[in-house]
């Protein structure tokens, strides 16, 4: 650790730029997504060398259904393949899977695979949280409704019903590909998170980029409104 502050415990990433990565190489978009999965795999492998207790990845937004059917199918098939190929590695590396979003709304076979993966990794010590069919507005609305059903709508009650309720507070939010927006990701959780925007396209993002982002995080002075 090179900075002065404590290491980031919870890092979230908006993995953006797969399409542009492929376009630059005159490849189909599907190739960009495939490379993007490889970047995820390498990053998860590197987690044990970092301060991170939870890595949250934005994999598919509730707005991504607007994409052409062929691309949505490619993404869902990649998801199937990834769970199948990488589940044994998660278990071996003590990685616990967590999912944010309306994932029960995905295809039945994916839901089944995810349920199995959640059960098989429940003993892991580091969390890989994947946002699937996720949108922050829907998450907050759902949490407010559940809080109201419990009784009073308070900040604590809403937090208790967010998909992130069991995760550590969000420390650092990274977005790749040069876009500087949140695209409906973790709007509540990001209230006091540090932000890092990089031009690197997601398939080119390496564990070394993550380590540099963590070093940068440690140099930041967080105030949370105090002084
Ligand atoms: C991110 O890459 C992956 C998903 C949104 C699923 P994009 O597919 O958004 O890539 P660009 O933004 O078009 O380059
Ligand atoms: C955000 O990226 C969603 C994911 C990375 C899964 P998008 O590419 O969908 O976001 P916009 O449309 O550029 O805001
Ligand atoms: Mg994009």
Task: Please identify every residue annotated as catalytic.
Answer: 16, 64
pLDDT digits (tens, 9 = 90+) for 168-195: 999 999 999 999 999 999 999 999 999 9
Residue 163: which of 187, 180, 183 has the closest Cα?
A: 187
Give me the half-sphere count of Cα atoms (radius 13 Å) on the Cβ side of residue 80.
12
> Whose C-alpha lies nearest to ligand 2, atom 2?
16
Average pLDDT on 152-168 reads 98
Assess whether the C-beta atom of 20 lies below 6 angstroms from ligand 1: yes
Residue 215: which of 72, 50, 87 has the closest Cα?
A: 50
Distance 110 CA to ligand 1 centre (A): 21
Residue 36: which of 9, 88, 87, 71 has the closest Cα?
A: 71
- From the alpha carbon of 16, which atom of ligand 1 is closest? 1
Assess whether the C-beta atom of 93 lies below 6 angstroms from ligand 1: no
Give the model's confidence band at 2: pLDDT under 50 very low, under 70 low, under 90 confident, else very high. Answer: low
Assess whether the C-beta atom of 19 lies below 6 angstroms from ligand 1: yes
Place of tokens 């199995």: 116
pLDDT digits (tens, 9 = 90+) for 45-75: 999 999 999 999 999 999 999 999 999 999 9
Give me the half-sphere count of Cα atoms (radius 13 Å) on the Cβ side of residue 61.
17
The total of other beta-carbon atoms located within 10 Å of residue 88's CB is 10
| Domains delineated in the chain | 10-219 (3.40.1180.10)
Assess whether the C-beta atom of 18 lies below 6 angstroms from ligand 1: yes
* Confidence at residue 4, expressed as pLDDT on a 0 to 100 scale: 77
Assess whether the C-beta atom of 103 lies below 6 angstroms from ligand 2: no
Query: Which residues crowd ion ligand 3, with CB under 5 Å?
Result: 16
Q: Is the dihedral of CA 82, 118, 186, 194 positive or negative?
A: negative
> Whose C-alpha lies nearest to ligand 2, atom 14?
183
Identify the bridge partners of residue 196 per DSSP, sorted by sequence position.
174
pLDDT digits (tens, 9 = 90+) for 28-44: 999 999 999 999 999 99
DSSP H helices in 26-135: 29-46, 69-92, 108-120
Query: Per the structure block, which two tokens stand in for 187?
Result: 């709007």
Taking the model in full, what pTM does it have? 0.97
- From the alpha carbon of 201, which atom of ligand 1 is closest? 14
- From the alpha carbon of 17, which atom of ligand 1 is closest? 14
- Alpha-carbon gap, residue 118 to 114, rounded angstroms: 6
Query: Helix, strand, or coil here: 4?
Result: coil
């Amino acid at each position: 650790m090179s900075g002065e502050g404590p290491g980031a415990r919870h890092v979230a990433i908006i993995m953006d730029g797969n399409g542009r990565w492929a376009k630059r190489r005159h490849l189909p978009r599907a190739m960009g997504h495939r490379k993007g999965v490889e970047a995820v795999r390498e990053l998860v492998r590197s987690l044990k060398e970092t301060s991170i207790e939870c890595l949250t990845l934005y994999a598919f937004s509730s707005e991504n259904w607007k994409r052409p059917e062929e691309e949505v199918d490619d993404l869902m098939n990649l998801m199937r393949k990834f769970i199948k190929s990488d589940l044994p590695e998660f278990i071996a590396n003590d990685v616990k899977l967590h999912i944010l979003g309306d994932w029960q709304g995905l295809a039945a076979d994916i839901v089944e695979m995810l349920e199995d993966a959640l059960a098989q990794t429940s003993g892991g010590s580091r969390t890989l949280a994947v946002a699937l069919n996720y949108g922050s507005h829907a998450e907050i609305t759902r949490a407010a409704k559940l809080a109201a059903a419990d009784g009073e709508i308070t900040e604590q009650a809403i937090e208790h019903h967010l998909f992130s309720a069991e995760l550590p507070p969000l420390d650092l939010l990274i977005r790749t590909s040069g876009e500087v927006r949140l695209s409906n990701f973790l709007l509540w959780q990001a209230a006091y998170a540090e932000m890092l925007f990089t031009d690197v396209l997601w398939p080119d993002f390496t564990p070394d980029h993550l380590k540099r982002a963590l070093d940068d995080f440690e140099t930041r002075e967080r105030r949370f409104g105090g002084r």
